[in-house]
Structure 1
Amino acid sequence: MDKEKTLNKPQAILFDMDGTLFKTESLLLPAHQRLFDKLREEGLYTAPTPPAERMMGSLGMLLEDIWKVVMPDGSERAHARANELLLQLELEGLKAGNTELYPGVKETLARLKEQGVRLYVASNGLEHYVKGIAEAHGMLDLFDGLYSAGEHGTKSKVHLVELLLQREGVSSAWMVGDRSSDVEAGRKNGLAVIGCQYAGFGNPDELAGSDVLISSFDELLGLYASSV
């Protein structure tokens, strides 16, 4: 853990989903090739399947922006169909039960909740995807709310977090995530930012501006215990 300062004890903690709670590659990599095979079958995309690393590197973006990075040569119709297919394949994968959380996620969340911390998800993903992960991994009861760009139509994580804080009446919180969008959302909403270094999706500068960097999820327990 790279600790730069003592944090104020939060009323709530907000978590990104992909790369923070959920080991996204356990679901996304099996779906990636199938998605592009289906697009080619339907005549919507003719190029070779883009590298999976391109998809993984774009996690944290809004879905409409992900396709601009992953298949910039694809038509609007192909992008729209890719949205439908990805959600379908991801929900099928979640039901199959072969996906993973990062080590210690459920145990850490449960201990934080026992100590009276309100727990939320703030994700740029689709509503059914975010809720599907929480349901598949038995986490629904741990959270006070699951907020997603897909459900609320927000155009950035900054606005999603702002909406969450207002609706839930949260006055002090930490933002925990692995991407620059999480750092920005925390900073612009006056929150302490905990940067997660263990996913490895982004570039080394992704988490610049975080108050604290952690290399395993359970380090949050020590941070909370030492906060004032």
Structure 2
Amino acid sequence: MTQSLIFDMDGTLFQTDKILELSLEDTFDQLRLQNEWNDATPIDQYREIMGVPLPKVWAALLPNHSEEVREEANAYFLERLIDNIKAGQGALYPHVKEVFRHFKENECSIYIASNGLTEYLNAIVDYYQLDQWVTETFSIQQIHTLDKADLVKHIMKKYEFSQGTVVGDRLSDFRAAKENGLEAIGCRFDFAREEELSEADQVIEDLLELQIK
């Protein structure tokens, strides 16, 4: 049985889709009030790049805006995401707690490695009480390169393991696994893309499939 598992958060454990549109719409409403935006909210464009670090998100969504405007939008978006999490608007994917309990009972170590910001990740972990199973949650903010492979490397170094599995839904997860000599399991969930899933060692449709590995 795998002893160390590193899970992505958005699109793997947490159904970000449930709060994404609400929070993004709120943010662009705010930009409209500030006369910084006149068009429709670019929800489809965000879905295309879902999974990359937020600074890169805002550079893509607001390419003609100043860094100051991007930072303000990012801060407001984060605030709205957290408010929606605390209001119970989001949800975990089916069987997250059941699978975590199974691995914990079998003496596996569970980590979360995400491109999300620390405050956002903590809101999810706290609301759903995931820390009873998760050893530690890591944010891309902790790595100056904003490279998920480096984040996974940091986890492996801190907890001194060289074998394990990365479970995620996007290319950054699979490459992070491969670059660190770990197994890559792809989740065919909301934001997954078939061309990216082809990079995974195995693809699952439901987290329960992890228990029979």
Instruction: Tell me if TM exceeds 0.5.
Output: yes
Counterpart in the other structure of 1:13: 5
Distance 1:141 1:208 in 2: 33
Counterpart in the other structure of 1:107: 98
Structural mapping, 1:37-76, within 5 Å? 37-43=29-35, 45-76=36-67
Counterpart in the other structure of 1:3: none
Q: Does 1:148 align with 2:146?
A: no
Structural mapping, 1:172-187, within 5 Å? 172-187=163-178
Pick aligned residue for 2:112 from 118, 121, 126: 121
Pick aligned residue for 1:130 from 121, 124, 128: 121
Q: CA deviation at 1:152?
A: 4.1
Distance 1:117 1:153 in 2: 29
Q: Is the 8 A contact 2:28 2:37 kept in 1?
A: no
Q: CA deviation at 1:72?
A: 2.2
- Relative to structure 1, the CA distance from residue 153 to residue 127 in structure 2 (aligned partners, 3 Å threshold; closer, same or farther) is farther
Counterpart in the other structure of 2:27: 35
Distance 1:85 1:175 in 2: 31
Q: Provide the aligned length of Structure 1 versus Structure 2.
A: 213
Distance 1:211 1:78 in 2: 40
Q: Which amino acid aligns with 2:154?
A: L
Bigger mean CA deviation after superposition, 128-137 or 68-77: 68-77
Q: CA deviation at 1:94?
A: 1.2
Q: CA deviation at 1:40?
A: 2.1
Q: Can you list the C-alpha shifts for 1:70-118, whole angstroms capped at 9, x where unaligned?
A: 2323322221111101111011111111211111111111111111110
Q: Which amino acid aligns with 1:22?
A: F
Counterpart in the other structure of 1:197: 188
CA RMSD of aligned residues (A): 1.4
- Percent of aligned pairs sharing the same letter: 33
TM-score by length of 1: 0.89
Counterpart in the other structure of 1:4: none
Distance 1:11 1:108 in 2: 14
For the residue of structure 2 that corresponds to 1:36, the secondary structure is helix
TM-score by length of 2: 0.95
Q: CA deviation at 1:24?
A: 0.4
For the residue of structure 1 that corresponds to 2:5, the secondary structure is strand
Counterpart in the other structure of 1:5: none
Counterpart in the other structure of 1:219: 209
Distance 1:86 1:208 in 2: 32
For the residue of structure 1 that corresponds to 2:194, the secondary structure is coil
Q: Is the 8 A contact 1:57 1:202 kept in 2?
A: no
Q: Which amino acid aligns with 2:90?
A: T
Distance 1:71 1:218 in 2: 39
Distance 1:53 1:46 in 2: 16
Q: Can you list the C-alpha shifts for 1:42-74, whole angstroms capped at 9, x where unaligned?
A: 34x223133312112212101111112223233
Q: Is the 8 A contact 2:24 2:41 kept in 1?
A: no
Distance 1:49 1:31 in 2: 14
Bigger mean CA deviation after superposition, 60-69 or 46-55: 46-55
Q: CA deviation at 1:154?
A: 4.2
Q: Which amino acid aligns with 2:152?
A: V
5+ long unaligned stretches in structure 1: 1-8, 224-228
5+ long unaligned stretches in structure 2: none
